[in-house]
């Protein structure tokens, strides 16, 4: 092999994956055209607007700065790349009270409010694409704690939750402050033990992070053209089915 061939081969071996994995996705996803609902397939018309609520941008920075993405993904994989829809309540809720099965794959619009799509490096902990949903609909149901408090307590001391005594999620206690208080603790104080005369309160960073986590509800209904694995419509209830059956 001549040096020329070697140099050419090396350049090609770098250029091809770089173009395919960096340049092409960058330009194809930089500005995504809006997707419209289809009257026949979706039963409604108009443009799909992904819903985002709360302070997302600041919280995304705290999430990145603390390396949450090292252990948590935010990517419900497409079925051809390993099905995530079967994992209970990661991709949405399996049995949402109002909407039934809301599970779906991730798409480019899910990350639009953020500078970077933090799809994650490893999956040591559960996927967080729909953590806001899970906390609100499942984790706080019995305890009666507010979703914010559930997340603050998890960040403060993951193993403090009696249901998760062996959690390996790190404690982010440095995102909280021990505030000197005379009299009663403020409403945002955590129900945890604190030294005499102090209360544990979330810092501005913890508040932004929890807002961000609660905003993660990436299971809104998509246009059928974007959703290759739509949830099956719920079975009609037996009473409704009986009423619909021909009489006589």
Task: Indicate the residue among 42 and 93 with the shorter CB distance to ligand HEC.
Answer: 93
Task: Indicate the residue among 42 and 91 with the shorter CB distance to ligand HEC.
Answer: 91
Contact set for ligand HEC, span 50-89 (CB under 6 A) = 66-68, 70-72
Count Cα neighbours of 239 within 13 Å in the Cβ-side half-sphere: 0
Q: Which of 56, 85, 169, 189 binds ligand HEC (CB under 6 A)?
A: 169
Q: Which of 50, 126, 160, 223 binds ligand HEC (CB under 6 A)?
A: 126
CB atoms near residue 181 (< 10 Å): 14
**Which range of residues in 25-33, 38-46, 96-104, 164-172 is near ligand HEC by CB under 6 A?**
164-172
Residue carrying structure tokens 């081969």: 9
According to DSSP, the residues that pair with 180 across neighbouring strands are 198
Residue 91 burial (CB < 10 Å; 0-12/13-18/19+)? buried
Q: Does 204 bind ligand HEC (CB under 6 A)?
A: no
CA distances from 164 to 75, 168, 202 (A): 24, 9, 21
69: its two tokens: 């993405």
Q: Which of 168, 174, 178, 241 binds ligand HEC (CB under 6 A)?
A: 168
Task: Indicate the residue among 42 and 84 with the shorter CB distance to ligand HEC.
Answer: 84
- What is the sign, positive or negative, of the torsion defined by CA atoms of 241, 244, 246, 248? positive
Query: Dmax of the chain from CA atoms?
Result: 89
Residues that bind ligand HEC (CB under 6 A): 66-68, 70-72, 124-126, 131, 134, 154, 158, 164, 167-170, 172, 209, 213
């Amino acid at each position: 092999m001549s040096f020329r061939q070697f140099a050419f081969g090396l350049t090609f071996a770098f250029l091809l994956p770089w173009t395919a994995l960096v340049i092409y996705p960058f330009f194809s996803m930089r500005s995504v055209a809006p997707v419209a609902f289809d009257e026949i397939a979706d039963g409604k018309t108009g443009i799909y607007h992904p819903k985002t609520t709360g302070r997302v941008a600041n919280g995304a920075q705290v999430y990145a700065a603390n390396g949450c993405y090292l252990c948590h993904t935010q990517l419900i994989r497409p079925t051809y790349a390993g099905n995530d829809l079967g994992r209970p309540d990661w991709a949405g809720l399996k049995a949402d009270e109002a909407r039934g099965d809301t599970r779906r794959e991730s798409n480019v619009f899910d990350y639009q409010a953020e500078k970077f799509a933090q799809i994650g490096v490893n999956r040591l902990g559960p996927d967080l694409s729909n953590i806001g949903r899970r906390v609100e609909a499942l984790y706080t149901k019995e305890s009666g704690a507010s979703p914010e408090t559930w997340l603050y307590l998890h960040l403060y001391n993951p193993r403090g939750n009696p249901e998760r005594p062996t959690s390996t999620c790190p404690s982010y206690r440095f995102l909280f402050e021990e505030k000197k208080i005379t009299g009663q603790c403020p409403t945002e104080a955590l129900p945890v033990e604190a030294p005499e005369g102090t209360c544990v309160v979330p810092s501005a960073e913890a508040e932004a992070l929890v807002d961000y986590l609660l905003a993660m509800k990436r299971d809104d209904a998509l246009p059928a053209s974007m959703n290759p694995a739509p949830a099956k419509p719920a079975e009609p209830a037996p009473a409704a089915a009986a009423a619909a059956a021909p009489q006589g």
